[in-house]
Every structure is written in C-alpha cells, then in structure tokens.
C-alpha cells in the first residue's frame, strides 16, 4: 500500500504529501534495496536447506548400505546405523518440505499447504521417534549411555 502511494507521489506533478520528490525517491529506493536483500537471503536459505536435505539423504544411504568413503563416518554397528539412517531420511524429507514451503509458499493452494504441513508433521514424528530410539539402541549395544566413548569415536 505504501509503495503504491509513493509511486503515485513520484508520478504526480504536484507534491501530494507536502514533501518534495527527492525524499520520496530515496524512500522508494531504500524499499527496493531492502526487498532485494530479503529476496537474496530467502534464496540463500532455500539453497542451504536443499543442500542439507541432499546431504542428509546421502549420509542415510551410506549408513544403510555400509558405505564409508574415505573413512568419513565413525564405526557403528549396523542396526544402530540403520535406525539412525531412518531418522536422517525423515529429517531429509522434513527439510525438503521446508525448502519447498519457504521458496514457493504463495504459489501453493490451501489444500496443498495442508497436505505439506501434514506430511511435514509425520516426517517430524518419525525423525524424533527414530532418533531417540537410535540413541537407546546405541546405548544398549555399547552397554553405556556414552556409547561414543565406548566406541572411541573422538580418539585419534
């Protein structure tokens, strides 16, 4: 609404607000700059979320398939890794939905928005349940709550 009034003020020969055209032009220019910065930051957020989703899915595939390229991941028993991998897949889906919702929100119909929210809630529940159960499976498997110490994850 404010931009429409400012645009009218710029195109009108008279000063309809009782101010000259220079401050109005500066305010309009600053509004465009702020909106441009906001758009760039929103695009950067969507790119980071998409990258995070792809990385989480790739780590989950490596954990399920027992791939360990260049010894990037610490040693973990298969069943512990598979439960944590399921939580990573759910996290990947959750972040992907967040990326779509953040970058394309105004273009979705209300029905599609409700479906996305429901799918995100299911994914969040699966993530939390599998992550917590993965911790307990790892703790039971190692015989201690600090299973990372038992498996020497942080010792070189």
Tens of pLDDT, residue by residue over 96-132, are 999 988 887 778 888 988 999 999 999 999 999 999 9
The lowest-confidence range among 53-62, 98-107, 144-153 is: 98-107
Structure tokens at 124: 């969040």
Domain ranges of the chain: 46-150
Placement of tokens 């105004």 in the chain? 106
Say how many C-beta atoms besides its own lie within 10 A of residue 150's C-beta.
Answer: 14
Q: Is the pLDDT of residue 48 over 80?
A: yes
Eight-class DSSP state of 76: -
User: How far apart are alpha carbons 96 and 50 in whole angstroms?
Assistant: 6
Q: Is the pLDDT of residue 27 over 90?
A: no
pLDDT of residue 102: 82
Q: Is the pLDDT of residue 54 over 80?
A: yes
Q: Is the pLDDT of residue 55 over 90?
A: yes
Q: What is the pTM of this model?
A: 0.75
Q: Which residue has the higher pLDDT, 152 or 156?
A: 152
């Amino acid at each position: 609404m404010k931009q429409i009034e400012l645009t009218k003020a710029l195109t009108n020969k008279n000063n309809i607000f009782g101010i000259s055209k220079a401050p109005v032009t500066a305010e309009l220019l600053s509004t465009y700059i702020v909106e441009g910065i906001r758009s760039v930051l929103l695009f950067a957020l969507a790119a980071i979320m998409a990258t995070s989703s792809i990385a989480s899915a790739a780590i989950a595939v490596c954990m399920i398939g027992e791939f360990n390229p260049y010894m990037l991941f610490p040693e973990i028993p298969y069943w512990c890794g598979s439960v944590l991998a399921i939580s990573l897949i759910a996290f990947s889906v959750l972040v992907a939905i967040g990326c779509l919702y953040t970058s394309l929100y105004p273009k979705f119909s209300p029905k599609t928005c409700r479906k996305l929210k429901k799918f995100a809630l299911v994914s969040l529940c699966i993530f939390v349940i599998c992550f917590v159960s993965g911790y307990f499976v790892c703790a039971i498997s190692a015989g201690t709550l600090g299973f990372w110490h038992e498996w020497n994850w942080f010792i070189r």
